[in-house]
Amino acid sequence: MINFFKKKEITKKINHKLQLTKIFPWITKLEDNYINLSNQDINIRINEILDLKKYFKTQIGINQLLDLKDSLVTSGYPENAAQLEIDFFLELFEDDTIKNLLFNDSAGLHLHQKNGYFNKKVKVNKDFGLIRTSIGKVFIVGSSNTLLPVLTSLFLSYIAGNNTVVQLSSLHVNCVPKLIENIPFDGSKHIHFTNLLREKEEDLSLIEALVTNINWNVINVWGGNNSLNFYNKIISKNTYRPRIVNMEPLTGALIIQQDYFEQNLDVNIKNLSSSIQIMGQQLCSSPTIGFLLNYNFNQLFDSIFENIIIDIEQNYTSNNSDESNSIKLDRMINLARDRGSTVYTSSKFSNNICIIVSKNQSVFNEYDTTNLLNIHERRNFIEIIRVENFTEIYKIINKLFINFSYKETKKIQTLLSFADKTFDSEIHQLASLIGAYRIIDSNYVLRRYPMEWFDNYNLFSEFTNLISVVGSKVENL
Amino acid sequence: MSNKPFNGNGIPSDLNESSSKLYTDEYFQLLKKTLTAKNIVNNSKEETKNLQKSLLYPYLEFFIRNDKDDFYKKLFFNRGIAKDQKGTLNDNLELIDLIKLRVHSDDLRADGQQQRLIHKDITKEDGMNFMSSGTTVGTNGPVNVFRSNISLSLSRLTNGNLIDWSIGKKVDEGETLFHMAPEMTNFLAFAAIGSDFLRDRGLGVRFGAKVNNGPADSTIWQRLGPDIKQMKSFFKDKNPTKYFIASGVGLYKMFMEPKGIKKLMMKLALSAPPVYLGDNGVLMIGGGLKRLPSSITSLDQIVKNTGDFILAGDNKNAPPAPVIDMLGLTESLNVFIGVPTSPHSNDPWIKFPHPLTYTALLKSPFDLTPVENPKESEEYLLFYVNLMTLDYVEAIIPGDFVKATKDMDSIDTALGKRNISQNGFIYSRRAEQNEGFKIREGCG
């Protein structure tokens, strides 16, 4: 009986493998395409991408972007978040952005710049040189919280000269292919979308077949814990052992030095409120926990938090679709009150905007509970903990990710600092201890500087193959 | 020997409240006096409001005075109704401030109530635990609420007030049949409190179901079966005042589900339907729609279909017995009572709270602000505070959506006109699982 089922399962898998080329005809052309792309000068593709900047200023281009925005809004994005996605997407095609991405000093890519062009062969010295080439076949998995990362990966992989296959979140499965396939560039021939939905059982096995049977060179996964667990499990079955670039679910922490914050109060309130609110607080850099240093209960203390809430109110978009989370939120807020934290909520929008100020530790330090929301289920909500020093911050963060609220999150990606320079070295040390990837001011919660690495990955480097040329072979580079 | 009345089950006959440490407490004595002087459900709405206002500070002070480990002193401060952690209450508190003390019913699951109880060293003999069915998945256990004997002694008075008001006379004679098993009075609040009160008033109490033997891993719900003997004896009883207390499921299984030969066998076994409840007979119902076929979308359907089989009289020409629908919640010491209604009536089933149950309708799960003037027919979230529950601050958001009624001072019922002491509401729905509350068995 058991053997019978095993046989059936194997047959099913083989069928999937055979089905793949029928469902995805582009699979048969991957090798030929790769050779063509590999022989093409990378600068042709770079110019193609730079030309898109002009295209998106034409009426057709503008209409396409409006369509994309409408699709995002229809699928549940707040309108301002959708607009931000579009704005930052357009920045991708700016000369400076491309230059910083492709000739990034911090990744050593500046070696490839010659007279403004990308030079794939570099003679470093008489005994050592480099050839940077496309890597081959790249499979990219997009997340649902934001569109920009998957689009950045997709364009960088194409520029690098790869066949690029993209598995999108169900929120983007229609709008992104529609955009990419209709913009005037050669990339649409080399970028393929699976159009599969991980939520559908039939599609799930096809995704598994795609991931495990093709000799991918890189698999780049942007996603939450569930998604990463799923893909990493099936990637391990791929005997070609692709390079895995996991972009983990991360979050941000806020550092406030009260006396510094008060010096420029109005501006800081505005900047902090927008940092909390931007993209529904769902970015890996969105502050979800904060630490208050040099605090004193002066006359301003309450008004700081009250004014942050008032500022958030001005751009508040209702998200009243989930009664479940609202009730849990109320239980969570009551729990904080009962544990002695000070709770600030909105007089206009009630619990839906909430700042909790706790003392010395998080009041949500349960490991497993039914009355807490995790950070992905909350919006406009932050717990700020009063601490005496950075050692306390380290201790709290060190234990944070076993708590229910943070269980699905790997670590702190970003330290958002509202502190003066006397705190800098301690913030650097804290970032080092907790393994944070970024220390930023409020301008960079959503925005990334093009030279930044993505969570310790330089994506362009990951999408290329670096060949070392050594000794006498350097001469002809 | 057990002093529990129903084959050793249920609330003890003698609650022995005078042995409680709280017996001499001024708030208990105040409540006792309030509840014994007259039936306050006959009060006007103005009188109810004034009574509730007058009890606000004594109620809160009761918990400060009898606090365990300073729980309520801290809670009142943290929730913004006290000036300090020593229990100095804010000045000028209003009833509306009670929303600050809210407890969501999910907070009473498993041992959630434990920290809120004021009692130290209380034994099992001093009270009982009432529980929801525990069938809801994804929670940390059933709603589990301890009630001390002294609170139960007040519930006899308050629930008695409600039934007397609804029926329109002091209920102190007659026969009752609970369509449930006596063992269920050990944990099911509605069964326990209802049967206790009626027996205490001197009525005969029978149970129409029994718990059969079954596999060790089966639940009491799975082993329930009819107690034909008890039912038959009730149906045959010639008493002119009989109260038949059943769930929607019970009525459905007895009067709607059996067809053909099964129906005939039922008739032979029970000599029913029809059921004759005597001239003063009333059908009382409660419970939700769980375990009913999907074609049944409201209890109203069942009552309409069974009305002609349950008669207020002793012959086939008798009129259908009036129906009183009650909302009983594990986490409420009091029921919310309906008024006698013809089973064929299309009037909405309005539920009324006892004057010691302060009730407010909240805007929505997104904004838990009490609405001062709720609009008729609009849906709100129910919140109530039982000012007679002495074991913990029973300020509950049970997760039930209700619709507001028009502002009325009286209501016409199948048994005459009743004044209204506090606005009622029409039950609308349990919030669905993905809407924040876990669907609970048997309530609603």
**How confident is the model over B270-309, as pLDDT tens digits?**
887 899 999 999 999 987 777 778 788 788 889 999 999 9
pLDDT at B134: 64
Best interface-test mutation with A: which of B73, B75, B78 has the largest number of A CBs within 10 A? B78
Give the one of B75, B79, B366 whose C-beta lies nearest to A350's C-beta.
B366
**What pLDDT is recorded for position B265?**
86
pLDDT tens-digit map of A55-67: 999 999 999 999 9
Indicate whether B317 pLDDT > 80.
yes
CA dihedral in degrees (B70, B76, B82, B84; nearest 10)? 40
Residue B233 within any structural domain of the chain:
no
Burial A256-284 (b: 16+ CB within 10 A, else e): bbbebbbeeeeebbebbbbbbbbbbbbbb
Run of H or E including A338: helix A323-338
Q: Which residues neighbour B74 within 8 Å (Cβ) at sequence distance 6 or greater?
A: A338, A340, B85
* Residue B202 located in a structural domain: no
Task: Confirm whether B201 is domain-assigned.
Answer: no
Give the DSSP H or E segment for B396. Answer: strand B395-397
Write the CB contacts of B305 (distance below 8 Å, at least 6 apart in sequence): B255, B256
Between B430 and A272, whose confidence is greater? A272
- Name residues whose C-beta falls within 8 Å of residue A337's C-beta, 6 or more positions apart in sequence: A343, B78, B79
- Identify all chain B residues contacting A351, using CB atoms and an 8 Å cutoff: 366-368
Locate A164 and state its tokens.
């690029």
Share of chain A above pLDDT 90, in %: 72
Q: Is 60 exceeded by the pLDDT of residue A14?
A: no
Residue B103: φ, ψ to 5°? -125, 130
**pLDDT tops 70 at residue A408:** yes
CA A175 to chain B, closest CA, distance in angstroms equals 28
Q: What distance in Å separates residue A252's CA from the closest CA in chain B?
A: 26
Express each pLDDT in A80-104 by its tens digit: 878 888 998 999 999 999 999 999 9
pLDDT at B314 (0 to 100)? 93
Q: What is the tally of helices (H) and strands (E) in chain B?
A: 9, 22
A338/B138 CB distance under 8 A: no
| Segment A309-334, tens digit of pLDDT | 999 999 888 765 677 788 889 999 99
Chain B's closest residue to A319, CA to CA, is B366
Shortest Cα–Cα distance, A325 to chain B (Å): 6
| For residue B240, cis peptide bond before it (omega within 30 degrees of 0) | no
Domain contains B151 = no
pLDDT (0 to 100) of residue A76 = 75
Look at strands A137-141 and A218-222 and give their pairing. parallel
> pLDDT band for position A15 (50/70/90)?
low
| pLDDT over threshold 50, residue B441 | no
Smallest Cβ–Cβ distance between B106 and the set A325, A331, A351 belongs to A331
Distance from CA of B435 to the nearest CA of A (A): 4
Residues of A in contact with B102 (CB under 8 A): 330, 334
Chain A residues whose beta carbon lies within 8 Å of the beta carbon of residue B434: 322, 324
CB contact under 8 A, B365 and A328: no
Read off the pLDDT of each residue in B80-94 and give the average, rounded to a whole number.
96
Give the confidence band of B442 by pLDDT, cuts at 50, 70, 90: very low
Range of the domain at B106: 18-121
pLDDT tens, position by position, B172-199: 999 999 999 999 999 999 889 999 999 9
E strand segments, B214-349: 224-226, 242-247, 275-276, 282-286, 310-311, 323-327, 336-337
SS3 call for B439: coil
Whether the pLDDT of residue A1 is over 70: the answer is no
Cβ contact, residue pair B104, A370, below 8 Å:
no
Model confidence, pTM: 0.85
What's the pLDDT score for residue A263?
94
Residue A285 has pLDDT above 50, yes or no: yes
**Residue that has been written with the tokens 């499979």 in this structure:** A139
Q: Which helix (H) or strand (E) holds B248?
A: helix B248-251
Find the angle CA(A358)-CA(B78)-CA(A399) to the nearest 5 degrees: 25
Please indicate, yes or no, if residue B82 is contained in any of the structural domains: yes
Question: For chain B, what percent of residues have pLDDT higher than 90?
Answer: 71
Between CA B136 and CA B104 the distance in angstroms is 16
B44: exposed, middle or buried (Cβ count in 10 Å: 0-12, 13-18, 19+): middle
A336 burial level (CB within 10 Å; 0-12, 13-18, 19+): buried
> Which residue's structure tokens are 């809430």?
A309
Is there a cis peptide before residue B5, judged by omega within 30 degrees of 0?
no
CA B251 to chain centre: 19
Nearest-angstrom CA–CA distance, A391 and A396? 9
pLDDT of residue A12: 52
**Nearest-5° angle of CA A284, CA A289, CA A290?**
120
Residue A145 predicted with pLDDT over 80: no
Residue type, B84: D
Tell me, yes or no, whether B245 lies in a domain: no
> How far, in Å, CA of B183 to CA of B189, rounded?
12
Domains in chain A (CATH in brackets) are 2-248+455-474 (3.40.605.10), 250-444 (3.40.309.10)
Residue of B nearest to A318 (CA): B366
* Assigned domain for B345 exists: no
Per-residue pLDDT tens over the stretch B204-215: 999 999 998 888
What is the average pLDDT across B305-325?
94
CA–CA dist A237, A242 (Å, integer): 10
What's the token pair of residue A110?
A: 């500046």
Q: Does B57 reside within a domain? A: yes
Q: Using CA of residue B1, residue B6, residue B12, residue B13, what is the dihedral sign?
A: negative
| DSSP letter for each residue of B132-194 | -----TTSSS-BEEEEEHHHHHHHHHHHHHHHHHHHTS---S-EEEESS-GGGGGT-HHHHHH
Instruction: Using a pLDDT cut of 70, give the percent of chain A over it.
Output: 95
Residue B320 tokens, joined: 């259908």
- pLDDT of B439 reads 26
Chain-chain contact of B104 with A330 (C-beta, under 8 angstroms): yes
Q: State the complex-level ipTM.
A: 0.86
Contact assignment for A337 to B79 by CB distance below 8 Å: yes
> Under an 8 Å CB criterion, which residues of B touch A?
74-75, 78-79, 102, 104, 106-107, 109, 138-140, 364-369, 397, 399, 431, 433-437
Q: How many domains is chain B built from? A: 1
pLDDT beyond 60 at A3: no
Q: Residue A430 carries which side chain, given as an amino acid letter?
A: L
CA-based torsion, A147, A150, A152, A155: positive or negative: negative
A95-102 helix and A42-55 helix, angle to the nearest 10 degrees? 150
User: What confidence score (pLDDT) does residue A2 get?
Assistant: 36
Question: What does the alpha-carbon distance between residue A273 and residue A317 come to, in Å, rounded to a whole number?
Answer: 14
H-helix segments, B88-148:
none
Judging by DSSP bridges, how do beta strands A411-418 and A117-118 pair with one another?
Answer: unpaired
Q: Write out the two tokens for A103.
A: 């000739």
φ, ψ of residue A46 to 5 degrees: the values are: -60, -45
Q: How far is B367 from chain A (nearest CA, A)?
A: 6
- The residue of chain A with its CA nearest to that of B397 is A327
Are B106 and A330 an interchain contact pair (Cβ–Cβ within 8 Å)?
A: no
SS3 A438: strand
